[in-house]
A and B are shown apart, each in its own frame.
Chain A
Amino acid sequence: MTNVRVAGVGLTHFGRHPERTSRDLFAEAGLAALDDAGVDRDDVEGVYYGNFMGALAEHQGHQGPLAAEALGVDAPATRYESACASSGVALRQAVKDVRNGEADVLVVGGAERMNNLETAESTEALAIAADELYEVRAGVTFPGAYAMMANAYFEEFGGSHEDLAHVAVKNHENAVGNEHAQYQKEITVEDVLESPPVAEPLNLYDACPVTDGASAVVLVSEDYANDHDVEAPVAVTGTGQGGDNMALQDRDDMATSPAATDAAAEAYAEAGVTAADVDFAEVHDCFTIAEVLAVESLGFFETGEGVAAARRGVTTRDGDLPVNLSGGLKAKGHPVGATGTSQVAELTRLLRGDHHNSEYVAAADVAVAHNAGGTVASAVVHVLEVER
């Protein structure tokens, strides 16, 4: 087993790029990651690529080889699909392969083109992450499913829509200054509460936007980094994945996300850390309620306590445990297949000290990425640590 290092990261701007193909978006992010790593493209042994809805949005299957070609890399390439956790699961596989000595240099990333579709079409495309027979046919949308989780949470543990609004406000504040973010502007609690309803209790400003974009990271083995003088102070020290029943109706509880709890337990055990050791995190806040479920599953808060974390200032950038310093999916944007590796790209830059919010985590050395698919029927957690 070898130590797995993040040698380089790359991101496009996340936003509205309806005319840009996902292959072009991924080329920009992947080449930036290779340049950041200073790794020769001939050394790349594989491309692990996350994408969710390209078959619907771009009428394109078999995307792995396209992704490698976009980077000018001649190596085997595979597309991974786990809804919004697509590049998270791609990363997990790459981490294992480097760790186990199967490869020394891998490019992992993802891309999604969504704004070329009408809103109703993208709503339909996102809904296929839910159970077609039991949920979609009854009219459950993706926001609708999370809205039912939010109402279940309020019923079981309390909390209010105003608590959730603070999550959105916090994440928008963090995105100001992030050149990659879709929304680089602050919002208020009133803005959230007064925005149009999407699926009650969730409003438009409780939801992440529809985003085009790509992300990539270059993983190398510690031996490769040493032999080639690659500067890579950030290591992926733990990876974990959990699963759950696809449809909410088949779960014991709609107000928790046990798949993420399982993923975190596995990742923490591999890294030899506990939740108490984690200094900051990027979590999957596709909706405000999703961040609440995430911070509880990661063990930062007791079940039922996470809803107040943003309002109390614990997870703000000045708080004890900053969450989503990038702006999160909410403000930075959520190009579905790109999100998992974009979180790791942001964490890497935060730990290296070259992120616009690095000052808030200057002494930190343990960070966590939490990437969820669907209503957390898939969850992937990675632990990153930096050598200072």
Chain B
Amino acid sequence: MTAPGVRDAGYDDFVDALAEGEGYYLECENGHGTLPPRRVCPHCGSRELVETALPETGTIDSYTVVHVAAPAFADDVPYAVAVADFGAVRLTGQLQSDLDAVETGLTVAPRVGKSETTGERLLTFELR
């Protein structure tokens, strides 16, 4: 496993910012959005990536309710996971409440939550 205190540079910085309510994504000059760490836009090859404020809300593109989980989420089941559209970028996150209400097209806000099983932080969505 990873040695204590070692972070995933870029990605953990993004999660830190999101936890502070200052989420961002990387946008290239052609309007493609991705999450860090990136040195190049995977869609067009641009190397001009600019940290851009993440919109406060997005809409659910697709989702599932997971009943059989990996050990890291064994005590979290059932839980919903969704891909949500924030314009230039899409994010994947967990809905930890409102499980029965989840459906495509709903408005969500990105948050940072925790796995009930391990206490590890993860990207979550809150229904708005």
Contact = CB atoms under 8 A, between A and B. Distances in A.
Interface in A104-156: 119-121, 123-124, 127, 133-141, 143-144, 147-149, 151-152, 155
A254 B83 contact: yes
Contacts of A120: 69-71, 74
B52 interface: no
Contacts, number: 104
Contact of A139 (B8, B61, B62, B115): B115
Interface string B86-114: 00011111100000000010000000000
Nearest to B34: A250
How many chain A residues sit at the interface, stated as a range, is 35 or more
Which among A134, A144, A200 has the highest number of chain B CB atoms within 10 Å? A144
B62 to A, nearest CB: 4
Contacts of B66: 139-141, 143-144, 147, 198-199
A37 interface: no
A78 B115 CA distance: 39
Nearest to B125: A138
B17 interface: no
B24 interface: no
B44 interface: no
B123 interface: yes
A139 B67 contact: no
Interface string B26-49: 000000001100000010000000
A199 B92 CA distance: 15
A interface majority secondary structure: helix
Contacts of B63: 148, 151
Contacts of B79: 139
B92 A141 contact: no
B64 A148 contact: yes
A61 interface: no
A121 B62 contact: no
A141 B94 contact: no
B17 to A, nearest CB: 15
Contact of B62 (A134, A152, A197, A198): A152
Interface string A314-342: 00000000000000000000000000000
A151 B104 contact: yes
Interface of A: 119-121, 123-124, 127, 133-141, 143-144, 147-149, 151-152, 155, 196-202, 245, 247-250, 254
20 contacts: A123-B68, A124-B72, A127-B70, A133-B8, A135-B92, A138-B92, A139-B73, A139-B122, A144-B64, A144-B81, A148-B82, A151-B104, A199-B65, A200-B65, A200-B67, A248-B62, A248-B92, A254-B61, A254-B62, A254-B83
